[in-house]
A and B are shown apart, each in its own frame.
Chain A
Amino acid sequence: MEDRMEDRSDAARREEIPDELQARRETIFMIPAAPAIWAAHFLASYITAAIWCAKVAGRTGALDGARWLVAGYTGVALLAIAIVGIWGFRHHSYGDATVPHDFDTPADRHRFLGFSTLLLAALSFVAVLFVGMVVVFTETCR
């Protein structure tokens, strides 16, 4: 059994590796980029609404200005996450390393980084939409 695992592993290691990937320095920082944008969007929205209700509109006042600001943050955040997601999709589409991309080869690393980035971008995109939805329905500081 162990021998066969070894065989499989060796076969995978011998997969065709595009020359370009051999020399490439990959970055890990695209993986947390989309969740970081989600966190920044949440924080910015929360702080904006808190300051607006404490200093501008009052506890029962209207949220209008803050709603437009949060809508703006949401647009920017969604665009940024989409760019990160496209980057991830392109990385994942390149090469033919097989799932689950867990070998220590440049090809696997390349597809793994792209796939993780893409999935986290999808999650963050939905999360930012959910945060943004609040200002669609909430009109006042109450």
Chain B
Amino acid sequence: MAAPPDDTLAALLGESSVLAPAGRSAAAIAELSWWLFGGATLIWLVVIGLSIYAAYFGPRAHDEAKVRLLVVGGGAVIPTLVLAGVLAWGLWLMPQVKPPLPQGAVEIEVEGLQWWWRARYRAETGETAVPVANELALPVGRPAVLRLTSPDVIHSFWVPALAGKMDMIPGRETVIVLEPTRTGVFRGACAEYCGASHALMSFAVLVMEPAAWEAWLARQAAPAEPPASAAAQRGMAVFTEYGCGACHAIRGTEADGDVGPDLTHVGSRRTLAAGALPNTPDDYVRWISDVHEVKPDANMPPFGMLPEGDLAALALYLDGLT
């Protein structure tokens, strides 16, 4: 099977530019970046201008007092003042990028694993937490507090358009606050090398209007609907028969594994295998039958030995779990 063109996946995972911010702290960082870029350009022009002047227009002896002023002023005093200014701006920015935890925020626990993302939306009204995987949704204009951990190695949580990076460290909880300012789909990635498939560990963040987000969360909280078609029912039987439920949970069925991603609504996600493949029945077949061709060293064993019909039925079943 041909690999999907990269731009298909890129489109599914969404925007990922720090220069087109969609979050409060990303906007602050982008503004600082533009000032740094502008300031660096100005300094570059002055230095190059002086070099050209010295080489072509004024290659003669200059007044020593003025030269000393230029060397000490331009070489020591101005750089010190510029660095002090930039440092002050950076230090002033830090509490905004890492604000005190806001009240009334969406609370999400996120675990980075080799090589996927497990998340749990903390219940707001005493209901149980909502588990999701490899895709997050956030309401626009409302802060979200993400508590980050890792059970294996160090990962780093980064949604470039929304905020800076935050490491996910085994044995420790770190916190990042995302505050999306416009709707859209934004790509998240692991920003700390974490093993063979580090580069295949992405996720999409769907930023929605609050009402749409409430509906999304309610949908994710609901158990899976029983398969409608006969083929999908056969797929469900295959899922049970081959023991997929030992690692994967599909709420509403007897599958309650906790090793791999929750698959209750896997068909609703934009991508498969943490941003490694688009989400079509063909991609399920490709992933399940040859896991390591798609994602080297992943924990899931390949099930290439399944009869083709079973594989197709399984793919149909999973794709229907919306």
Give the segment of B2-10, B89-97, B282-290 that binds chain A.
B89-97
A128–chain B nearest beta-carbon distance, Å: 12
Interface: A129 (CB within 8 A): yes
Interface: B101 (CB within 8 A): yes
Q: Given the interface contacts A60-B101, A126-B80, does A139 sit within 8 Å of B95 by beta carbon?
A: yes
Count of A-B contacts judged by CB separation below 8 Å: 28
Question: Would B95 and A137 count as touching, CB distance under 8 A?
Answer: yes
Q: Which of B80, B87, B100, B175 contacts A133 (CB 8 A)?
A: B87
Chain A contact patch, size range: 10 to 19
B65–chain A nearest beta-carbon distance, Å: 16
Question: Would B87 and A130 count as touching, CB distance under 8 A?
Answer: yes
Interface: A116 (CB within 8 A): no
Interface: B84 (CB within 8 A): yes
Instruction: List the A side residues contacting B83 at CB < 8 Å.
Output: 130
Instruction: State in angstroms the CA–CA spacing of A134 and B90 once bound together.
Output: 10
Q: Given the interface contacts A126-B80, A130-B84, A130-B87, does A137 sit within 8 Å of B94 by beta carbon?
A: yes
Instruction: Annotate B84-116 by CB proximity to A: 1 below 8 A, 0 otherwise.
Output: 100110011011001011000000000000000
Of chain B, the residue at the smallest CB distance from A139 is: B95
Instruction: State in angstroms the CA–CA spacing of A95 and B95 once bound together.
Output: 52
Instruction: List the B side residues contacting A139 at CB < 8 Å.
Output: 95
Instruction: List the A side residues contacting B80 at CB < 8 Å.
Output: 126
Instruction: State in angstroms the CA–CA spacing of A136 and B88 once bound together.
Output: 9
User: Which residues of A (38-92) have their CB < 8 Å from a CB of B?
Assistant: 60
Instruction: State in angstroms the CA–CA spacing of A137 and B85 once bound together.
Output: 13
Instruction: State in angstroms the CA–CA spacing of A60 and B95 once bound together.
Output: 12
Number of interface residues of B (CB under 8 A): 13
Instruction: State in angstroms the CA–CA spacing of A137 and B101 once bound together.
Output: 18
Instruction: State in angstroms the CA–CA spacing of A140 and B80 once bound together.
Output: 27
Instruction: List the A side residues contacting B84 at CB < 8 Å.
Output: 126, 129-130, 133
Question: Would A140 and B91 count as touching, CB distance under 8 A?
Answer: no
Question: Would B100 and A137 count as touching, CB distance under 8 A?
Answer: no
Instruction: List the B side residues contacting A134 at CB < 8 Å.
Output: 91
Instruction: State in angstroms the CA–CA spacing of A140 and B88 once bound together.
Output: 17
Interface: A25 (CB within 8 A): no
Instruction: State in angstroms the CA–CA spacing of A126 and B101 once bound together.
Output: 34
User: Which residues of A (113-139) have their CB < 8 Å from a CB of B?
Assistant: 126, 129-130, 133-134, 136-139
Instruction: State in angstroms the CA–CA spacing of A140 and B175 once bound together.
Output: 14
- Can you offer 18 A-B residue contacts whose CB atoms are under 8 A? A60-B100, A60-B101, A129-B84, A130-B83, A133-B84, A133-B87, A134-B91, A136-B91, A137-B91, A137-B94, A137-B95, A138-B95, A139-B95, A140-B95, A140-B100, A142-B98, A142-B100, A142-B175
Interface residues of B (CB under 8 A from A): 80, 83-84, 87-88, 91-92, 94-95, 98, 100-101, 175
